[in-house]
Amino acid sequence: MRSISEAGVLEPGNVTSMGELREECGVAAVYHLPGVGCSPLCPEGPDQATRLLPKMLLDIQNRGQLAAGMTRYSPHDPQLLLTHKDVGSVTEVFSLGHRERFERLGAILSGPAGIGHVRYATCGREDAGYAQPFERHHIKKHKWFSFAFNGQLANYQELRDRLLEDADHHLIRETDTEVIMHVLCRELMPNPAPDLLDVCRVFPEEFDGAYSLVFLNALGELMVVRDPCGIKPLSWAFDGRFFAAASESVALLNLGFSPEDIKPVEPGRAIVVSSAGLREETFFESKRRAHCFFEWVYFSNVASTLDRRSVYLARKSLGEELARLETLDVHDGHTIVVPVPDTSKAAADGLAYALGIPCLEGLIRNRYAGRTFIEGVESRERKARAKYTPLREVLEGKRILLVEDSIVRSTTMRVLLRRMRDLGRPSEIHVRVACPPIISPCFYGIDMSSVKELFAPHFLTEGRLTEEAQAKMAEQLGADSLRYLPVESVARAIDLPAENLCQACITGRYPTPWGQILAAESLQHFQCGISGRAFEIPAQEAATSSAKCGS
């Protein structure tokens, strides 16, 4: 890994060993075709297209605040590919708050094509060596490449073990990104350069899981790829001269593309852009779609449209689904709806409008506290206390319908309810969750941990959500009542068939073979009292513990 210092000098990155990374990330890519004039979306000229990447990454910063980076291609520089990445927010990594440094960095990283990445690491130390893109140098231009991806390979451990069966092979990091890099290296080995779309055809044979991927080589070829299930989102737009792609449509909309020009990269398809133009082709005919429903519920920017479905309208509809289930007499003159900012706001609005009662901002969010569900327990509790400030002027004496988008481990909700009672003094707090209970881990890029660490599974009987279970959960949380949405509400709200969504974390049914294998192992570990994630526990330890519990 190479990063650029403030003086513009290339420095070696800090590479150390750490635990396996599981990430919820974002990717972006730009390419201005040569010899076709200047696109109005890239006013500084074709060779300055990459100056737009930090802006795009800022628009998808919600997907990752731990690290950021980009690789640019420039045919006018002996350093055909140049990568800059580091730990920190987009503003920090690209010096957006310091005009002189930003301009200096922009000049060094200018070019007609580039890819970018923002990252959350869900365990392990903060380490610049794990920031993406990953660049691989080679004397052959088609073998000199950089790439970044959003997702996670469920069969990572199997791929890693297979690579290391050869004693001459060595992996520096514990991350599926490095495994993908080695598969790319192998497929790019032939001379002359293979067709990039042919390289993609091996992915379904090798990779089980989610991967929305951006790739750039020293020939000036850019490629964006979406896995055959389409688990993670990826959008693209092209005006005939300027191409851009990003994990979320909002980044393309803010570049100036019209909503009509922005399309999803279809599952199992790749788009290759080079000086010769643009090619879009299917590399694998997928038998099913499995779009991550949690993108609409929580992760994505509310202004985004994913697979032609508005995030805002989906969340609003989730609130309307909650309203259909409400049994309290809310027309008593002192019942109000309060969202947990910010991702629950649309659902709270939908609930309040459908019920005909006020929706008020009773909680003010500290926007610099960050998200908490990916932190350690003590850190989550500390951040949860600092994350929201209850407003007594709004809450005091009121009966609150508190709308939350989801409950994963419950740490934030417990702390929040205590603070609301202590500082806000409401008469009652009734929690309404615009999502079904999270009952199973995610192996496709969202750190939902092991079954043992999830909140809901401890209360459900054979996975069934009952009124009694919800009452027990409410008592544990410190709420007067608790209501989740049923699973069938999700597909209705998103307006996609249930079979086209990945709902594994709320159903226990996974769209890929390795997801199902890991889920079965995780459930067995939960039943046997084994701590840790299924793919992190040594086989011998798991076998011994399973034998002890009679499995």
Return the number of other C-beta atoms located less than 10 Å from residue 548's C-beta. 11
Q: Is the pLDDT score of 452 beyond 90?
A: no
The amino acid present at 293, given as its one-letter code, is F
% of the chain surpassing 70 pLDDT: 87
Query: pLDDT band at 9, cuts 50/70/90?
Result: very low
Q: Residue 26: which of 251, 315, 176, 305 has the closest Cα?
A: 251
Q: Average model confidence (pLDDT) for the chain?
A: 89
What integer pLDDT is reported at residue 233 of this predicted model?
A: 97
Query: pLDDT band at 372, cuts 50/70/90?
Result: very low
Lowest mean pLDDT among 205-209, 335-339, 359-363, 538-542: 538-542
* Cα 449 from Cα 538, distance rounded (Å): 17
What integer pLDDT is reported at residue 523 of this predicted model?
A: 84
- Helix, strand, or coil here: 281? strand
* Cα 436 from Cα 405, distance rounded (Å): 10
31: part of which helix (H) or strand (E)?
A: strand 26-32
What integer pLDDT is reported at residue 354 of this predicted model?
A: 98
Q: Is the pLDDT score of 467 beyond 50?
A: yes
Query: pLDDT band at 534, cuts 50/70/90?
Result: low
| pLDDT digits 0-9 by tens, 308-354 | 999 999 999 999 999 999 999 999 999 999 999 989 999 999 999 99
Give bridge partners of residue 363 from the DSSP assignment.
390
Q: Return the C-alpha torsion angle 50, 51, 52, 54, nearest 10.
A: 100
**Can you tell me the mean pLDDT for 453-466?**
88
274: part of which helix (H) or strand (E)?
A: strand 269-274
User: Residue 505 in contact with residue 442, Cβ under 8 Å?
Assistant: yes
**Can you tell me the mean pLDDT for 504-530?**
90
- Kindly list the catalytic residues: 25
User: Residue 286 in contact with residue 342, Cβ under 8 Å?
Assistant: no
Give CA separation, 311 vs 233, 297, 340, 438, 484, in Å.
Answer: 12, 8, 17, 20, 20
* Cα 460 from Cα 17, distance rounded (Å): 38
User: Residue 29 in contact with residue 245, Cβ under 8 Å?
Assistant: yes
* Cα 484 from Cα 477, distance rounded (Å): 14
* Cα 214 from Cα 115, distance rounded (Å): 7
The amino acid present at 131, given as its one-letter code, is A
Query: pLDDT band at 532, cuts 50/70/90?
Result: low
**Can you tell me the mean pLDDT for 545-551?**
44
| pLDDT digits 0-9 by tens, 118-149 | 998 544 346 788 899 999 999 999 999 999 99
Q: Return the C-alpha torsion angle 52, 266, 199, 24, nearest 10.
A: 60
For residue 11, what are its two tokens?
Answer: 């420095």
| pLDDT digits 0-9 by tens, 156-175 | 999 999 999 998 989 988 88
Return the number of other C-beta atoms located less than 10 Å from residue 194's C-beta. 13
DSSP string, 466-487: -HHHHHHHHHHHT-SEEEEPPT
Cis bond leading into 40, ω under 30°? no
What integer pLDDT is reported at residue 550 of this predicted model?
A: 47
Give the architecture-level CATH label for domain 23-150+182-287. 4-Layer Sandwich (3.60)
Q: Is the pLDDT score of 8 beyond 80?
A: no
The amino acid present at 124, given as its one-letter code, is G
Domain locations along the chain: 23-150+182-287, 309-499, 512-551
* Cα 351 from Cα 337, distance rounded (Å): 8
Alpha helices per DSSP H over 99-221: 99-108, 156-164, 176-187, 196-200, 203-206
What integer pLDDT is reported at residue 12 of this predicted model?
A: 31
| pLDDT digits 0-9 by tens, 214-242 | 999 999 999 999 999 999 999 999 999 99
User: Residue 484 in contact with residue 463, Cβ under 8 Å?
Assistant: no
Query: pLDDT band at 401, cuts 50/70/90?
Result: very high
- Helix, strand, or coil here: 346? helix
**Can you tell me the mean pLDDT for 517-526?**
88
Expressed in angstroms, the distance from the first to the final Cα of the chain is 45
DSSP string, 433-470: ESS----S--SSS-----GGG-SGGGT-BTTB--HHHH
**Can you tell me the mean pLDDT for 431-452?**
90
Is CATH 3.40.50.300 the classification given to domain 309-499? Answer: no
Q: Residue 532: which of 18, 16, 17, 20 has the closest Cα?
A: 20
**Can you tell me the mean pLDDT for 53-60?**
97
* Cα 433 from Cα 412, distance rounded (Å): 13
213: part of which helix (H) or strand (E)?
A: strand 209-217
Global pTM exceeds 0.85: yes
Q: Is the pLDDT score of 280 beyond 50?
A: yes
Q: Longest Cα pair distance anywhere in the chain, in angstroms? A: 76
User: Residue 417 in contact with residue 477, Cβ under 8 Å?
Assistant: yes
